[in-house]
């Protein structure tokens, strides 16, 4: 009942519940903060928060923690890099990594860290460019104006500057986010994965928790550690229960503003289809992992990713089948529609917006499976295919003017695309066979054995035969081959006899047609609908509300606190002693040898993890938790199980963020890992040399 | 629109749409049939249909096809037996089976075939026994009266007579079904699995289709072929398009009468949970199968079962997320509730029934996961555990009077239970490890690593370690050990140091408590609610409606016809030539060598499979398709993809049954398999000797 009342209050006044809200840094809820926690950050505080925080382009948050470019994030945010640096002989995921001197800091291929520098409102420019347009014309105009604005913003500094057009409130506002871009990122420290992810999948999204889910990298510029003015020194003591805390990070995606038709489509179609596929793939990879030490090493990070997203999506599904959620969303939507209906001007422009969105979704239902298989690429689940498609499409797109390209091939996007395309990360042929065989099998299952596209792709081969032939015949594992194809453009692509290049070429016409159909008949129509709904909401609620998460920098406030799980009080802190108590010796509850060896040195009563009622979601991994002085007291790495419904609503009674205590980071680096110089640098001392 | 009108007509008058309906044999829709197809079976026809049909206790239908006890069913209905007869040296699933003389007919362990002999109405006796009772008392009284009635019915002939109390219309009627029981079943013929299931999972539930999904067994009594008076001779020509046809078989379960609250629970909770688990297990077993020829052989039949039920449940899920379905169900329920509200007497007894059902489901939601893990046994997915639980519970239950036992341990149920318990079917330890490890891992995932029951079961072991220890240490693979434990009763069980027996003993108190809670707080309450709803429906619609399927004998009528798939006409017939055209040489589109060798002899234009608009569902596999003369013209083996929604509604435009043509059976036996004597017996000739 209490939740419902609070949300009605929000609905009527625009005020958020305690803890709720992912606020953009140019629109912090100053008055609410003052009332809720008796403290509101001033402009200097906000500036420092903005420049101390950083985004990892692959999907994580992080922050600067020394003047010489040290960046703190989660272990799972650098797991890909650890995997890429590892081999059958040396497994850094298993053993951890510590650079004892600068020269040992190891480059992470394909890793990019971006620091937000400036936010500019470009709503008028974007809306003017698309005014009166529909379908393909709308989409093309929007792509063109975005390309133009980002190109002007980055100018000739593309390797150091990144500019993104950000869509807030589902078309209510458009903002230009200008970042300082770091593409030379080197690994400094990571603990053993079994300590970063102690408790594994069973404990994931659960609390109490005992994880040292941390990593440290350093950003370089011109071959030297980058000098940064604004960073967050680590608090030696961590926070206390009841302390107000701020999270400054990059929540990836929330869906709190969706229409009920969009929510129903997620519940009935999108989430189930994803979950069914991912559960099956998880089963295959689980068994593959059990086949040997090397297959375990190869599959490890994919399996982590799949299991993590399975749990997250399962939690989202369970929130959507909670009848209370849909009832509340419907109530809110009904009230907004009534507000629109009562206002003649709004009614004329906006009354049809909800039905437009619903009809676009209905249109989508007829071809979404095909679009997902062919254009999204579910049918061709393979690193080689991803490379081949980028090369094939890149050759076609780079011949066009910037404004006419698919957005991922805009000049401003090429640095990151090339970093991935030319990453030296190893590709494992047997594992590629497994994944591609799975993708092709599912394609046949979803589209049907008699489908013309399926016939064209498989001809008379079985999925396994085709996967064997393609993986056995490709040369795309060779970086020189990729460079030659990328540099050679369409002429080189068309001459290539590489089977993945030929596949990507063969399916591209149908894939592009499906993309175009999706963008014009579904995406553009939904966007035009939600733009109007956002304006109606502003008219009713004002602009003192926060927008859905978009993997852009947000401020969340809260306090360090536990919650009540049924009749049981969950304490907000765990300690090192708890990790030793929980260990069984069997995976995933097995302590690393370094911890067992250091047991007598560690202060077992020292806090290890804590929970707070900050409003976070996937993408916030690695976010700094700051106290009001701007010291880093914690490192977000997870939410509790109730936080998964946070995609759709925020339940302040139960939704909790989970962080590593800054005191635990310092304790572990000093007493377990012997990383004293690094520890000193984190406390504001000189850089390690 | 047409569908909706037809259903409204049904609702108002009790008349069914063309093809719709699974009618009990004591209540055939004579007038409807006369109007719909100009022919209504007389009493003699119905008697012969009842005695010619037969049920395979494991979940299939079948029919007698010779006076010497030949029984025709599907290949997939004897796949378990084929697997049990096979070994690493001889694989009858792969190679097929043909007994060229009587002495080669091979006993199928654990197979039971039942022929319905008599139907008696016992509604009053059952309802009188439970009148005025609630919860546990209701459930116990119902168990007791069922045990008493079945015991009296079977008398001392338990090995030859089987009696089941059948619940029709969800408590609207109770009937006693008395069967002639055959427990000596011997395999006579099965083609290669690749021909029975040509097209494999991709083609499953699809049409056009090219499968010889047939098998022939013979029932024996006193060591000799059973003599049967009533059987269905095979029609040499099969049916023609437009012919009226009758299916007499055992549809397992439909859910067309469920309340909207029950449907929502299936859509939001039951089906997703099952699907998520099954997709993951499918992935694991798929990969296991790929690891070698022997693991493929071992996993084959489980994988078929899992993939088949995945497709069926996925189809059910997709029907439930079709907004039109729920709207129609709600409309129907609203009308019935209005009818009840308008009738003071009905209102007093029945108005609360729907809310009672909904509240029972809400109660269930809080403990269904635990109930499913612990009592249903998802946590302990293993043949060894199933054996251990039967032994442990059997020891406890057999000490009680019959009326007080759990129903599966009633005297009348013991013959089938013992046949399974003492089956010589092989158990594969590595495969047991895989399944048990999966079950224990999911238990920990679903209940949580900190759950007391999980702690009790796993202690400090990982799921894999525990599975290793139990499978490595058990002696339950030895039939003599099972016999000794079963015969030794509780004393032997309590002395046993077998790890599975110890596990089954250790978890039994919690499992029984959950079962009791489920039966008293959920099942009894739902049953009391649906009994009242059924009476209201009879009051409104009369009793000229068919009940939901309950794996009891039903008559369905229809005609041989295709359907319109979008703009495309699907013809009702495929032929042998089509199978050769479809073959690619790659699994699962690979023809068996016997077919390739016989190509020149086969009449390629001869029909192979056909579709009709009979109303069937899982459990109908192996049902005879009869013409009006009572000749067998086809053998049901599947439905089309649209038939999967048939669990909840019947769409006569799209829902089709799929059968093997009788002419194809005879063609294949003569020209491909050289089974001439058997073929002659099917045509009404003398038995093979």
CATH, domain range A2-112+183-256+547-682 = 2.40.10.120
Structure tokens at A582: 């929980």
Q: Which helix (H) or strand (E) holds B657?
A: strand B657-661
Residue B121 CB partners (closer than 8 Å, separation 6+): B173, B174, B175, B176
For residues A14-31, one letter each, b for 16 or more C-beta atoms within 10 angstroms of the residue's C-beta and e for the rest, the string is bbbbbbbbbbbbebbbee
* Chain B residues within 8 A of A268 when measuring between CB atoms: 321
Cβ atoms of A663 and A235 closer than 8 Å: yes
Answer whether B448's CB lies under 8 Å from B373's CB.
no
Contacting residues for B327 by C-beta, under 8 A, at least 6 apart: none
Q: Distance between CA A258 and CA A261 in Å, rounded? A: 8
Closest CB to B275 among A202, A267, A276: A276
**Count of CB contacts below 8 A, A vs B?**
103
Element (H or E) spanning B23, and its range? strand B23-24
Q: Which of B272, B457, B565 to mutate against chain A (most A CBs within 10 Å)?
A: B272
Shortest alpha-carbon distance between residue B637 and chain A (Å):
19
Residue A265's closest chain B neighbor by CA?
B321
Taking CB atoms and an 8 Å limit, are A283 and B286 in contact across chains?
Answer: yes
Hey, are the CB atoms on B287 and A282 less than 8 Å from each other? no
Classify residue A581 as exposed, middle or buried by CB count within 10 Å of its CB (0-12, 13-18, 19+).
exposed
Written as six digits, the tokens of B68 are 């010497």
Lowest mean pLDDT among A85-94, A314-323, B200-209, B629-638: A85-94
Find the residue in B nearest to A454 (Cα). Answer: B202
Q: How far is B262 from chain A (nearest CA, A)?
A: 14
Chain centre to alpha carbon of residue A415: 19
Query: Touching check for A461 and chain B: CB below 8 Å?
Result: yes
Instruction: Give the percent of chain A with pLDDT over 90.
Output: 89
Of the candidates B583, B573, B601, the residue with the CA atom closest to the CA atom of residue B670: B601
Mutate: best of B200, B202, B439, partner A, most A CBs <10 A: B202
Nearest CA distance, B685 vs chain A (angstrom)? 41
CA pair distance A686, A154, nearest whole angstrom: 33
Q: Does A269 touch chain B (CB under 8 A)?
A: yes
Residues of B with CB below 8 A from A199's CB? 449
Task: Write out the two tokens for B444.
Answer: 């920990």
Q: Do B284 and A284 touch (CB under 8 A)?
A: yes
Concatenated DSSP letters of B261-325: HHHHHIIIIIHHHHHHHHHHHHHHHHHHHTT-HHHHHHHHHHHHHHHHHHHHHHHHHHHHT-HHH
Tell if the CB–CB gap between A460 and B268 is shorter than 8 Å.
no
Using a CB cutoff of 8 Å and minimum separation of 24, what contacts does A506-509 make? A506/A456, A506/A457, A507/A374, A507/A380, A507/A453, A507/A456, A507/A457, A508/A389, A508/A392, A508/A393, A508/A396
pLDDT of residue B447: 96
pLDDT of residue A36: 82
Of the candidates B667, B677, B633, the one whose C-alpha atom is nearest the C-alpha of residue B98 is B677
The tens digit of pLDDT for each residue in A520-545 reads 999 999 999 999 999 999 999 988 89
> Is A202 an 8 Å CB contact of chain B?
yes
pLDDT on residue A18: 59
First CA to last CA distance, chain B: 58
Give the pLDDT confidence of A546-603 residue by residue, as tens digits: 999 999 999 999 999 999 998 899 999 999 999 999 999 999 999 999 999 999 999 9
Contact criterion met (CB < 8 Å) for B449 and A286: no
Confidence at residue B4, expressed as pLDDT on a 0 to 100 scale:
28
Are the Cβ atoms of B283 and A283 closer than 8 angstroms? yes
Smallest CA–CA separation between A645 and chain B, in Å?
A: 15
Which among A276, A288, A321 has CB closest to B268? Answer: A321
The answer to whether the Cβ–Cβ distance between B291 and A291 falls below 8 Å is yes
Strands A568-570 and B173-182: unpaired
What does the CA dihedral A353, A358, A363, A368 come to, rounded to 10 degrees? 120
Chain A residue numbers with beta carbons less than 8 Å from the beta carbon of B444 are 202
Chain B residues touching residue A201 (CB < 8 angstroms): 445
Chain B contact present for A283, CB below 8 A: yes
Q: Do B286 and A288 touch (CB under 8 A)?
A: no
All residues of chain B having their beta carbon less than 8 Å from the beta carbon of residue A202 are 444-445, 448-449
> What are the pLDDT digits (tens) for B376-387?
999 999 999 999
CA-based Rg of chain B, rounded to a whole angstrom?
A: 25
- Condensed to tens digits (0 to 9), the pLDDT of residues A220-260 reads 999 999 999 999 999 999 999 999 999 999 999 999 999 99
Contact B109/B185 with Cβ under 8 angstroms? no
Report yes or no: B236 and B629 within 8 Å, Cβ to Cβ.
no
Q: A280 vs B282: CB contact, 8 Å cut-off?
A: yes
CA distance B63 to B48: 11
Mean pLDDT per block of 10 residues along chain B (689 residues) reads 31 48 94 86 94 95 97 95 90 96 93 96 96 94 96 88 95 96 96 97 96 98 96 96 96 97 97 98 97 92 92 96 95 97 96 97 96 98 98 98 95 90 92 98 95 95 97 98 98 98 98 97 96 95 91 96 93 98 94 98 98 96 96 97 95 95 98 96 67
Taking only Cα atoms into account, the Rg of chain A, rounded to an integer number of angstroms, comes to 25
Residues above pLDDT 90, as percent of chain B: 89
Interface of B with A in 419-438 (CB under 8 A): 434
The CATH number, out of the four listed (2.40.110.10, 3.90.380.10, 2.40.10.120, 3.40.50.620), of the domain defined by the range B2-112+183-248+551-637+650-682: 2.40.10.120
**Residue A285 contacts B, CB cutoff 8 Å:** yes
Q: Residue A136 is inside which H or E element, if any?
A: helix A135-154
Give yes or no for B199 touching A (CB within 8 A): yes
Question: Mean pLDDT throughout A294-320?
Answer: 94
Question: Which tokens in the block code for residue A93?
Answer: 């995921």
What is the full DSSP assignment across A619-640? T-TT-EEE-TTS-EEEEEEEE-
Q: Are A165 and A146 in contact (CB under 8 A)?
A: yes
Which chain A residues are within 8 Å of B272, Cβ to Cβ?
272, 275, 317, 321
Kindly state the tokens that stand for A589: 């509850």
Nearest CA in chain B to A583: B460
Find the CB nearest B317 among A201, A272, A283.
A272
CB contact under 8 A, B283 and A286: yes
Task: Please state, in angstroms and rounded to a whole number, the distance separating the CA atoms of residues B674 and B656.
Answer: 32
Reference B237, options B577, B606, B558, B576; nearest CA is B606
Q: Which residues on A lie below 8 Å from B461 (Cβ)?
A: 584, 586
Give the Cα separation of B149 and B142 in Å (integer). Answer: 11
pLDDT at B685: 58
Question: What is the model's pLDDT at position B434?
Answer: 97
Q: Cβ separation of A284 and B287 shorter than 8 Å?
A: yes
Q: Are the C-beta atoms of residues B171 and B183 closer than 8 Å to each other?
A: no
Residue found by looking up tokens 């073959």 in the block: B583
Q: Would you say the ipTM is above 0.85? A: yes
Identify all chain B residues contacting A283, using CB atoms and an 8 Å cutoff.
279-287
Question: Is B585 touching A (CB cutoff 8 A)?
Answer: yes
Strand partners, A234: A632
Q: Which residue has the higher pLDDT, A537 or A9?
A: A537
Of A286, A321, A465, which has the smallest distance from its Cβ to B284's Cβ? A286
**Rounded-to-integer distance, Cα B113 and Cα A586, Å:** 48
In B122-183 the beta strands, taken as DSSP E runs, fall at 161-168, 173-182
Task: Establish if A465 touches chain B: CB-CB under 8 angstroms.
Answer: yes
Chain B residues close to A288, C-beta within 8 Å: 287
User: Tens digit of pLDDT for each residue in A145-183?
Assistant: 999 999 999 988 878 999 999 999 999 999 999 999 999
Residues of A with CB below 8 A from B279's CB?
275-277, 279-280, 283
Q: List Cβ<8 Å contacts ≥24 apart for B141-148.
A: B142/B524, B142/B527, B143/B403, B143/B404, B143/B405, B143/B406, B143/B407, B144/B403, B144/B404, B146/B407, B146/B410, B147/B402, B147/B403, B147/B405, B147/B407, B147/B410, B147/B411, B147/B412, B148/B402, B148/B403
| Closest Cβ opposite residue A276 in set B279, B445, B450 | B279
**What Å distances lie between residue A465 and A382, A418, A468, B282, B292, CA to CA?**
15, 31, 5, 21, 16
Measure the CA–CA gap between A96 and A91, rounded to whole angstroms: 8
What is the mean pLDDT of the segment spanning A100-129?
Answer: 95
CA distance B83 to chain A (A): 23
Kindly determine whether residue A201 and residue B585, on different chains, have CB atoms separated by under 8 Å: no
* Confidence at residue A424, expressed as pLDDT on a 0 to 100 scale: 86
Task: Please judge whether A276 and B281 are an interchain contact, meaning their C-beta atoms are less than 8 angstroms apart.
Answer: no
Average pLDDT, chain A: 94
Say yes or no: B445 contacts chain A, CB-CB below 8 A: yes
Of B203, B448, B586, the CB nearest to A206: B448
Which chain B positions have a beta carbon within 8 Å of A282's beta carbon? 280, 283
State the average pLDDT over residues A504-512: 98
Asked if the C-beta of B205 comes within 8 angstroms of chain A's C-beta atoms, the answer is no
User: Is A288 close to B284, i.e. CB distance below 8 A?
Assistant: no
For residue B87, count other CB atoms closer than 10 A to its CB. 12
Q: DSSP secondary-structure letter at B100?
A: S
């Amino acid at each position: 009942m209490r939740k419902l009342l609070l949300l009605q209050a929000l609905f009527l006044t625009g005020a958020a519940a305690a803890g709720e809200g992912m606020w953009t840094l140019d629109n912090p809820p100053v008055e609410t903060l003052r009332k809720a926690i008796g403290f509101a950050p001033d402009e200097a505080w906000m500036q420092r928060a903005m420049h101390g925080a950083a985004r990892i382009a692959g999907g994580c948050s992080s922050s600067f923690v020394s003047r010489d470019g040290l960046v703190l994030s989660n272990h799972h945010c650098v797991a890909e890099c650890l995997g890429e640096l590892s081999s059958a002989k040396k497994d850094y995921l298993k053993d951890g990594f510590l650079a004892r001197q600068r020269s040992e800091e190891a480059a992470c291929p394909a890793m990019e860290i971006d620091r937000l520098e400036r936010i500019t409102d470009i709503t008028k420019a974007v809306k003017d460019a698309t005014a009166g347009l529909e379908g393909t014309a709308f989409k093309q105009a929007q792509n063109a104006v975005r390309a133009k604005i980002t190109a002007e913003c980055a100018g000739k500094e593309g390797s150091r500057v990144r500019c993104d057009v950000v869509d807030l409130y589902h078309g209510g506002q458009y903002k230009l986010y200008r970042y300082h871009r770091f593409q030379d990122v080197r690994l400094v420290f990571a603990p053993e994965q079994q300590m970063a992810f102690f408790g594994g999948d069973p404990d994931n999204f659960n609390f109490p928790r005992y994880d040292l889910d941390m990593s440290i990298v350093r950003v370089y510029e011109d071959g030297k550690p980058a000098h940064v003015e604004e960073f967050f020194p680590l608090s030696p003591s961590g926070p206390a229960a009841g302390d107000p805390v701020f999270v400054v990070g990059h929540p990836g995606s929330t869906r709190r503003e969706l229409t009920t038709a969009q929510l129903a489509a997620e519940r009935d179609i999108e989430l189930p289809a994803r979950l069914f596929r991912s559960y099956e793939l998880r089963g295959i990879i689980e068994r593959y992992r059990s086949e040997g030490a090397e297959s375990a090493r190869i599959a490890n990070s994919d399996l982590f990713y799949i299991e993590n997203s399975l749990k997250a999506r399962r939690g989202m599904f369970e929130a959507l089948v909670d009848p209370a959620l849909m009832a509340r969303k419907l109530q809110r939507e009904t009230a907004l529609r009534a507000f629109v209906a009562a206002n003649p001007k709004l009614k004329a422009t906006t009354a049809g917006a909800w039905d437009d969105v619903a009809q676009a979704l209905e249109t989508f239902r007829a071809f979404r499976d095909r679009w997902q298989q062919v254009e999204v690429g579910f049918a061709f689940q393979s690193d080689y295919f991803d490379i081949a498609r980028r090369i094939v499409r890149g050759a076609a797109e780079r011949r066009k003017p910037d404004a006419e390209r698919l957005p991922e091939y805009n000049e401003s996007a090429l640095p990151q695309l090339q970093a991935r395309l030319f990453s030296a990360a190893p590709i494992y042929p047997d594992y590629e066979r497994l994944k591609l065989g799975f993708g092709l099998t599912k394609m046949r299952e979803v589209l049907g054995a008699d489908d013309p596209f399926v016939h064209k792709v498989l001809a008379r081969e079985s999925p396994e035969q085709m996967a064997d032939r393609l993986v056995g015949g490709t040369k795309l594992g060779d970086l020189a081959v990729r460079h030659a194809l990328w540099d050679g453009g369409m002429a080189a692509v068309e001459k290539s006899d590489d089977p993945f290049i030929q596949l990507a070429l063969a399916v591209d016409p149908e894939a592009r047609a499906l993309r175009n159909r999706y963008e014009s008949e579904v995406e553009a129509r939904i966007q035009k609908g939600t733009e109007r709904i956002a304006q109606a909401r502003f008219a009713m609620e004002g602009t003192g509300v926060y927008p859905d998460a978009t993997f852009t920098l947000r401020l969340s406030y809260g306090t360090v606190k536990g919650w009540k799980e049924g009749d049981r009080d969950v304490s907000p802190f765990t300690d090192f002693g708890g990790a030793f108590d929980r260990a069984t010796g069997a995976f995933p509850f097995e302590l690393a040898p370094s911890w067992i060896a250091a047991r007598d040195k560690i202060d077992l009563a020292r806090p290890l993890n804590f929970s707070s009622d900050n409003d976070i979601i996937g993408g916030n991994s690695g976010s700094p938790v700051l106290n009001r002085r701007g010291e880093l007291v914690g490192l977000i790495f997870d939410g509790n199980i109730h936080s998964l419904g946070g995609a759709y609503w925020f339940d302040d009674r139960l939704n909790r963020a989970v962080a590593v205590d800054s005191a635990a980071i310092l304790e572990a680096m000093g007493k377990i890992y012997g990383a004293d110089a690094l520890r000193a640098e984190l406390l504001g001392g000189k850089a390690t040399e």
